Structure 1
Amino acid sequence: MQGVPQHFEHPQDRAQFRRPTHRPGVELYRAHIVRHAFEPHTHEAYGLGAIESGVERFRYRGSDHLAPSDSRVMMNPDVLHTGRAETEGGWRYRMAYIDVDVVEAFSGERGWWFRDAVHHDAARAHRVTLLLDALWRAEEPLAFDSLLLSLLDGFGDQVRHAPESRSAAAPRFTHVIEYLRANLARRITLEELAAVANLSPFHFLRAFRDHHDATPQQMLMALRLFEAKRLLADGIAPAQVAASVGLSDQAHLTRAFAQRYGVTPARYQRQVRR
């Protein structure tokens, strides 16, 4: 596609995804990122991984975090985050994105919540890296599921129970996010979102930004790209995906997808459907 890069600008930047065919709700990811800066995005799943080398800087839950080599990274579902290299040589890492219902089924527990996004423990981080590498290479479904249980066990020391209640704004904003998700292909106004939240428009805009550390537009784009990810994994053509999630055309999808996930839609589709 003319004018749209099919690769990262820096030749050392690499990102790969894999989805096991037998276990929906699990996505594996490995990357070495030197120059690319990830736009705010969400995986709508628990993000569990480890930094193999270098240092990552990312924004998550209103704060900047540094994740150095030999540290574990833990992200709760539905939280926007960014990512960029803090060291000249970038950072190399592996992640597993695991849906809430899969975590509950494997762990036998509900309401997992991680207070800390980064935990420094070289031995545990190294074990997580080995487990994620083994999961990537696993060919038998039983072997994969056994390794997945071990991976989840490896983060048990960081699990906290989800808080019983969040801020008073949370229930209103839950409805706003549901509204955004149901109207991805539409042009949505500030006034209609404020009406969903039962707030005046500019009060809503400030409160939403303060609660999510993102504007409503950033949240909408994150939800659009996450839905695009799901549709691509189902084999839908990128041009059709772009129209379905409210992006102007396939070129827009390609740019926005690469900014958030580090690969083009076509390459992501090939990786997860092999």
Structure 2
Amino acid sequence: MQGVPEHFDHPSDQAEFRHPVGRGGIELYRAEIVRHAFEPHTHEAFGLGVVERGVERFRYAGSEHLAPPDSIVMMNPDILHTGRAETEGGWRYRMIYIEPDVLAEVSGEPHWWFSGAVVDNDRTRARNLSALLASLWQAREPLAFDSLLFQFVAALRPHARVAPVARDDKAQRFTPVLDYMRAHLSDRIRLEELAAVAGLSPFHFLRRFQAQHDVTPQQMLMALRLHAAKRFLAAGETPARVAAATGLADQAHLTRAFVRRYGVTPARYRRQVRA
């Protein structure tokens, strides 16, 4: 894949997505990034992958993390994160994004959860996972893909928790807020609306939301808008219509925001996942 020099800060930066044939709820991703810094975004799925070269720095769940070569990266759904190179030459990595119900179906175990975001002391497993991700990218037969997916999930299982995770009642308070945001992506949402959903005063809500999610409500709303934009684009909608449906000012606004979070333009993403 050629780079996207008109949008990246460095000609070596490149990123590519793929949706597998015959298996929904999964997105494959591979990238080599030198200068680009990804703004906070979410995939609403488990983000599982391996750093193959270089070191990545990313903020996740309120903490900074470093992922060196042959490290495994494990992100839980609905948690915003960033990403940038920690080393001068950037970093190369592969990821698979698996929706929770798909992961439960493949593994036969519900309630997967990862306590740590990076495992950097299991090099043999990391290299095996990287090879499986490369094979998944190349797989064109649905049966071959599903067989490789099963192997990938089984190889990752030792690093997962599968018992139900106790959720903080305070955190639960914001679930309706996120649902409200998703239902009103194209609206101009006011702080007072979100606070009312949470049953708090406006700035008390803002402080609590920031403490819980490590981002402001506006940052979360933009992440949800861009994630919805991915779904619309994958379904074949044009960038202009997607911009309108997700509350962005215009197609140019969508393009800028999309590149900052995912490393590709909306049009390129649409072509990649529909190829």
Q: Secondary structure at the match of 1:155?
A: helix
Matches within 5 A, 1:142-221: 142-161=143-162, 164-221=165-222
Residue 9 of structure 2 is matched in structure 1 by 9
Deviation at 1:6, TM superposition (A): 4.1
Matches within 5 A, 1:72-83: 72-83=72-83
Distance (Å, rounded) in 1 between the aligned partners of 2:117 and 2:140: 30
Dislocated runs of 4+, deviation >4 Å: none
5+ residue gaps in structure 2? none
Instruction: Note the alpha carbon deviations across 1:32-72, whole angstroms, 9 max, x for none.
Output: 00000000000000111000000000000010000000000
Distance (Å, rounded) in 2 between the aligned partners of 1:125 and 1:88: 23
Distance (Å, rounded) in 2 between the aligned partners of 1:206 and 1:150: 43
Residue 51 of structure 1 is matched in structure 2 by 51
Deviation at 1:5, TM superposition (A): 7.3
Paired AA for residue 213 in structure 1: D
Deviation at 1:162, TM superposition (A): 5.4
TM-score, with normalisation over the residues of structure 1? 0.97
Distance (Å, rounded) in 2 between the aligned partners of 1:58 and 1:100: 22
Deviation at 1:170, TM superposition (A): 1.6
Tell me if the contact between 1:6 and 1:264 (Cα under 8 Å) persists in the aligned partners: no
Tell me if the contact between 1:34 and 1:85 (Cα under 8 Å) persists in the aligned partners: yes
| 1:258 to 1:70, Cα distance in 2 relative to 1, 3 A | same
Tell me if the contact between 2:106 and 2:150 (Cα under 8 Å) persists in the aligned partners: yes
Q: Secondary structure at the match of 2:82?
A: strand
Deviation at 1:245, TM superposition (A): 0.3
Residue 249 of structure 2 is matched in structure 1 by 248
Residue 61 of structure 2 is matched in structure 1 by 61
Q: CA RMSD in A?
A: 1.2
Tell me if the contact between 2:57 and 2:84 (Cα under 8 Å) persists in the aligned partners: yes
Distance (Å, rounded) in 1 between the aligned partners of 2:107 and 2:38: 31
Count of residues in Structure 1 that have an aligned counterpart in Structure 2: 271
Deviation at 1:163, TM superposition (A): 5.1
Distance (Å, rounded) in 2 between the aligned partners of 1:93 and 1:164: 29
Paired AA for residue 99 in structure 2: D
Residue 21 of structure 1 is matched in structure 2 by 21
Residue 114 of structure 1 is matched in structure 2 by 114
TM-score, with normalisation over the residues of structure 2? 0.96
Distance (Å, rounded) in 2 between the aligned partners of 1:163 and 1:101: 14
Paired AA for residue 273 in structure 1: R
Residue 105 of structure 1 is matched in structure 2 by 105
Deviation at 1:168, TM superposition (A): 2.5
Residue 32 of structure 2 is matched in structure 1 by 32
Distance (Å, rounded) in 2 between the aligned partners of 1:207 and 1:163: 24
Q: Secondary structure at the match of 1:179?
A: helix
Residue 92 of structure 1 is matched in structure 2 by 92
1:229 matched to 2:234? The reply is: no
Distance (Å, rounded) in 1 between the aligned partners of 2:238 and 2:163: 38
Distance (Å, rounded) in 2 between the aligned partners of 1:217 and 1:186: 12
| 1:133 to 1:5, Cα distance in 2 relative to 1, 3 A | closer
Tell me if the contact between 1:50 and 1:72 (Cα under 8 Å) persists in the aligned partners: yes
Tell me if the contact between 2:43 and 2:77 (Cα under 8 Å) persists in the aligned partners: yes
Tell me if the contact between 2:113 and 2:165 (Cα under 8 Å) persists in the aligned partners: no
Percent of residue pairs bearing the same amino acid type? 67
Paired AA for residue 186 in structure 2: A
Paired AA for residue 27 in structure 2: E
Instruction: Note the alpha carbon deviations across 1:159-192, whole angstroms, 9 max, x for none.
Output: 1135543222222100000000000000001111
Q: Secondary structure at the match of 1:132?
A: helix
